[in-house]
């Protein structure tokens, strides 16, 4: 198995949570078009498991507007990084020792597709999947690059969030790790 991580894409946001979960579930999400988004932020948590149609998704807040880089070392291990320094150097945070680790829980993927969506957007507006490759889906979205679909193996994925600091204890990056169990 190849253990070297490669950047496979990114997601852009204007601030607020990003949803990670099964394609079939997140396309039921309506964002700010209904009260879906308001209910999500009422939780008043930073990173947590949230239910859509009785299924788990991850709501992860990169803390402000962000360009979140997506790295993969194989089909089933992902690291999502929001750097507070420079996007071009996000690779250096992949193997960094994290602090304040929080196990968020588990999500199940059953459509062979992980969907990542900036939570203000409506998954219901997305165009259907066209092929089995990493796809920047389009539709009636407000923000460019606010959604990405990634083909994955079906199964349960463990979700962990942590922070990376430099030697002077300055906040460098926030990470979300999704690993297939």
Q: How far is CA 147 from CA 28, 31, 68, 168, in A?
A: 14, 12, 11, 35
Q: How far is it, in rounded angstroms, from Cα 53 to Cα 51?
A: 6
Asked whether residue 1 carries a pLDDT value surpassing 50, the answer given is no
Q: Does the predicted TM-score (pTM) go above 0.85?
A: yes
Helices and strands in the chain: count of H runs, count of E runs: 2, 11
Length of the chain: 181
| pLDDT at residue 86, rounded to an integer | 59
pLDDT at position 139 is: 63
At residue 155, the pLDDT reads 97
pLDDT in tens, 103-142: 999 999 999 999 999 999 999 888 888 777 677 766 666 6
Please report, for the chain, the start and end positions of each structural domain, with discontinuous segments joined by +. Answer: 6-180
| Unique residue bearing structure tokens 């796809």 | 135
- How far is residue 5's CA from residue 9's CA, in Å, rounded to a whole number? 12
Q: Are strands 171-180 and 77-83 parallel, antiparallel or unpaired?
A: antiparallel
pLDDT of residue 65: 84
pLDDT above 60: residue 167: yes
Q: What are 17-66's pLDDT values in tens digits? A: 999 999 999 999 999 989 999 999 998 889 999 999 999 999 999 988 88
């Amino acid at each position: 198995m190849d253990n070297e991580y490669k950047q496979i894409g990114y997601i852009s946001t204007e601030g607020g949570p990003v949803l990670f979960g099964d394609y079939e579930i997140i396309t039921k999400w309506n964002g700010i078009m209904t009260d879906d988004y308001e209910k999500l932020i009422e939780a008043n948590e930073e990173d947590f498991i949230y239910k859509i149609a009785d299924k788990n998704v991850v709501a992860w807040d990169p803390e402000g507007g962000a360009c979140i880089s997506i790295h993969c070392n194989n089909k089933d291990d992902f690291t999502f990084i929001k750097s507070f320094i420079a996007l071009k150097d996000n690779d250096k945070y992949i193997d960094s020792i994290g602090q304040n680790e929080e196990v968020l829980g588990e999500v199940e993927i059953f459509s062979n597709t992980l969907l990542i969506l900036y939570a203000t957007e409506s998954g219901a507006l997305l165009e259907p999947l066209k092929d089995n490759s990493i796809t920047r889906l389009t539709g009636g979205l407000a923000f460019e690059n606010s959604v990405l679909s990634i083909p994955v193996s079906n199964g349960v994925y463990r979700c962990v969030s942590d922070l990376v600091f430099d030697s002077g204890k300055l906040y460098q990056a926030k990470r979300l790790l999704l690993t297939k169990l």
